[in-house]
Every structure is written in C-alpha cells, then in structure tokens.
Amino acid sequence: MTIRLEHANITVTDPKATAAWLERVFGWKTRWEGPAMQTGHTVHIGTDDSYIALFGYGDAARNTQDTYRTVGLLNHLAVFTDEDIDAVAERVKEAGFEPGNFNDYAPGRRFYFHDSDGIEWEVASHQH
C-alpha cells in the first residue's frame, strides 16, 4: 500500500499573489482556481503529483501565536529541490523574502524563510 500527501490547504491573505511568487521561486504551476466556501477564493498550485491549496477569505484573522508552541497550528512547509539550493535562495530574495538559518545536515543543506503571511518555509536539498 502507498499513501502519499496529495495536498495541504492553507489560508493566505491573497491566494493569487502567493501563487505568483510560488511560480517564480519554486517553478510550480496553477492547477485550478476558483470560488470557495461562501466568499472565499482558492488557488491550487504545485506539481503534477502534489499541490498546496491557497485559500483566501477576505477578513481572515492573522495568527499571532507561536506556532511551535500551539497545538494544531502549522509550524512550516518544507519543499525539496534537486537544483543548487543557493539559486533557490536567490529567487527567494528576489521575491522579497529573507532566507536564513542555512545549515548542513546529512545528507544535504537547508534554509528557511517567512513569507508575507508569516508562513515559515523550509527548502531542503541533498546536494552540498
């Protein structure tokens, strides 16, 4: 039996704007977009195998809690790249975010950044 993650659904301020930087930084493509849940809007963006549903609801509250200390909140989203991780970090900078906490780990490297909605992203590579 094979079970894999198909998608995650996260609330963002502006699904179209978030999808735009995800396309530029990660090379992902919009798979679907349209109305969702009353007056909300959703964009599905990712690869052929998996995606993230970006949900926007206009007046959604911003999280002010420490996600690592609050049960049930998202700590971070991690993506894997098979390209030079420094090139990805440069695209993160070009998108207006600050990559940091670079570190080596077996078997590769990783870094983190926060987007404009305060969501923490991890980028990992198995290349040194």
Q: For residue 22, what are the CA distances in angstroms to 10, 25, 26, 40, 125?
A: 14, 5, 5, 20, 17
Instruction: For residue range 93-113, list pLDDT tens digits in order.
Output: 999 999 999 999 888 999 999
pLDDT one-digit tens code per residue, 26-55: 999 999 999 987 788 999 999 999 999 999
Supply the CATH number for residue 97's domain. 3.10.180.10
Return the pLDDT at 57: 84
H/E stretch holding 18 = helix 15-26
Give just the sign of the alpha carbon dihedral 69, 72, 76, 82: positive
pLDDT at position 112, please? 98
Q: Is residue 87 part of a domain?
A: yes
Domain region containing 93: 75-128
Does some domain include residue 48? yes
